[in-house]
Structure 1
């Protein structure tokens, strides 16, 4: 029943809200975030680019560049080892998206209240997995910070290096094709898992993909892409829109070409969604076919690259030869940031 009497501002929305999702489903909406970041100063001195891309770009004294980004994830599964793996891959995505080589990382951990013995064991296991994932990407864990809190949260601040100017979302060109390296729909699957509505095999399959590093994909796409990003909390539509708006382009997306995690379409059609999905939908308009999965927030999502059409076939072949997958999901034309789904 609805409470009687006068309530504090925002109280009714909290009472009516669905349980908060984990992973990138707990992210603040793009519109709200943009307002909060509007007061940050413009880049100066050694800062080449700041707010607005996957990572900040810093100019080094030898003429090369360093990129830096930070991410943290609210626990979405009761497996701190897998959660660490996914959080590390998620954070590394920003470095790969800039076409940079991951360098070093700091880890930030909030552990639930537990005994000292359990704390020691949990932190040891988290550190082991973090080291393994970062090392496999060519980076090194160099420290971090830990506290106790209400629930498990794991985050990383990661740096990367690149000799030439890193890739940004603003370099895409008319005629480029969009290549995506991973399915979408992880937000729906994780929301369903929280509610006990997901098929266990679908959850396990999604987690397996989310926990895989994408350094090989980044190495193939980086040298040929005009622009690149990783698809995370704002959903596929939000990240395509960011690229289009920055590059003054429109995008035509092809629904049948977009890869979807097993089980996600059925769950979405049944009305299951992440708590962030409605906000993502409000923040990004898409013409044409209605598809809520375009607004589904992704955790450890795929790389999205704008690649010249003449190079797209060779890129897909190079990915396949290295055991990776790429999907051409649409194309870019001159415009103002309009998205169409057909």
Structure 2
């Protein structure tokens, strides 16, 4: 008899971007990290929670460097590799850069996981890199207690075209290019509660490369961008607010939702990370009276390989939405706006 395949998710305490450190813990850890101001060619560091570091190479080129890795969010090894690689490369696109190279980061319990499964994880990641037009040129591996996979991703952009959290403007509208609910769906998957088609919807959104970001800075009215991952829509909106010194309104019903996510959330399915997220930044968020907890959870839901969150001038927002949809991001929506005020997020039941 062939033994039953090992469920990757059973080997990890968390999964995907839901296993990130909470925003509050991360801020405490980084509070004593020395600033990198002594390096004049470092254009973007850790100060404003941007998606990648940026180093000016010359007057026409800047190197964008990032790394991302996590434990399994699904059981299929090939799909896990694809999701992790798509998520890592997204940080390059979110800075307005074009990826050029990747290095693999691999930690595997080699005494518990078959070699064939590890090979499939790496093959999944390599397939995404090939789709992005870049090589996996090397990497590093260790024997670890839990399966861990991800990439170092490098990209190039013009120094004048880097997109960060710092340059959003009051009055900008916030455009989100993917549906929300990945964390809830991954929790439902672990509980065997996904309805027919839900898993396929989960895989489709988490393996869609955010290549729309590569030329974002050339699109009219775009001022800033990030991608929505482990801190949820609210958390990553708050990063833009803090980086740019602005406040934001989020329209609670505006985002698209991955198939099955709302039903699962209403049924009480949630991730531990959504609660940690709220505990970390809830004091900076204003919610409507009587706002249902499940709706709040969805807006704090950790996204693995989520969409781009783009700050764009209001007269250019609809055009940008149309461009994103034409590029294959059919779930693109206007989900909020930025305004003058102390950094913070106000959730509205409807656009006002």
Superposition TM-score, scaled by structure 1 size: 0.88
Matches within 5 A, 1:276-295: 276-285=273-282, 286-289=285-288, 290=291, 291-295=296-300
What's the secondary structure of 1:169's corresponding residue? coil
Once the 2 structures are TM-superposed, how far is the Cα of residue 252 of structure 1 from its aligned partner? 1.2
Query: Which residue of 345, 348, 351 corresponds with 1:339?
Result: 345
User: Aligned residue for 1:70?
Assistant: 67
Query: Which residue of 198, 206, 210 corresponds with 1:210?
Result: 206
User: Aligned residue for 2:318?
Assistant: 313
Distance in 1 between residues matched to 2:347 and 2:72, nearest whole Å: 32
Distance in 1 between residues matched to 2:64 and 2:58, nearest whole Å: 14
Is the CA contact (8 Å cut-off) linking 2:81 and 2:120 kept in structure 1? Answer: no
Distance in 1 between residues matched to 2:313 and 2:178, nearest whole Å: 20
Is the CA contact (8 Å cut-off) linking 1:202 and 1:262 kept in structure 2? Answer: yes
Once the 2 structures are TM-superposed, how far is the Cα of residue 170 of structure 1 from its aligned partner? 1.0
Q: Flag the 1:220–1:310 CA change in 2: closer, same or farther, 3 A.
A: farther
Distance in 2 between residues matched to 1:336 and 1:125, nearest whole Å: 48
CA RMSD between the two structures? 1.9
Q: Flag the 1:123–1:194 CA change in 2: closer, same or farther, 3 A.
A: closer
Distance in 2 between residues matched to 1:57 and 1:171, nearest whole Å: 15
Is the CA contact (8 Å cut-off) linking 2:24 and 2:281 kept in structure 1? Answer: no
Distance in 2 between residues matched to 1:296 and 1:123, nearest whole Å: 28
Q: Flag the 1:321–1:277 CA change in 2: closer, same or farther, 3 A.
A: closer
User: Aligned residue for 1:250?
Assistant: 247
User: Aligned residue for 1:84?
Assistant: 81
| 94-103 or 312-321, which deviates more | 312-321
The alignment status of 1:125 with 2:130, answered yes or no, reads no
Deviations 1:26-50 (A, max 9, x none): 1110110111112222123232221
User: Aligned residue for 2:54?
Assistant: 57
User: Aligned residue for 2:105?
Assistant: 108
User: Aligned residue for 2:139?
Assistant: 144
Once the 2 structures are TM-superposed, how far is the Cα of residue 318 of structure 1 from its aligned partner? 1.8
Aligned length: 321
Once the 2 structures are TM-superposed, how far is the Cα of residue 198 of structure 1 from its aligned partner? 2.6
Once the 2 structures are TM-superposed, how far is the Cα of residue 279 of structure 1 from its aligned partner? 1.3
Q: Structure 1, unaligned stretches of length 5 or more?
A: 1-18
User: Aligned residue for 2:194?
Assistant: 198
Q: Flag the 1:321–1:192 CA change in 2: closer, same or farther, 3 A.
A: closer
| 189-198 or 294-303, which deviates more | 189-198
Is the CA contact (8 Å cut-off) linking 1:226 and 1:307 kept in structure 2? Answer: yes
Is the CA contact (8 Å cut-off) linking 2:80 and 2:124 kept in structure 1? Answer: no
User: Aligned residue for 2:155?
Assistant: 160
User: Aligned residue for 1:10?
Assistant: none
Once the 2 structures are TM-superposed, how far is the Cα of residue 320 of structure 1 from its aligned partner? 2.8
Q: Structure 2, unaligned stretches of length 5 or more?
A: 1-11
Is the CA contact (8 Å cut-off) linking 1:69 and 1:94 kept in structure 2? Answer: yes
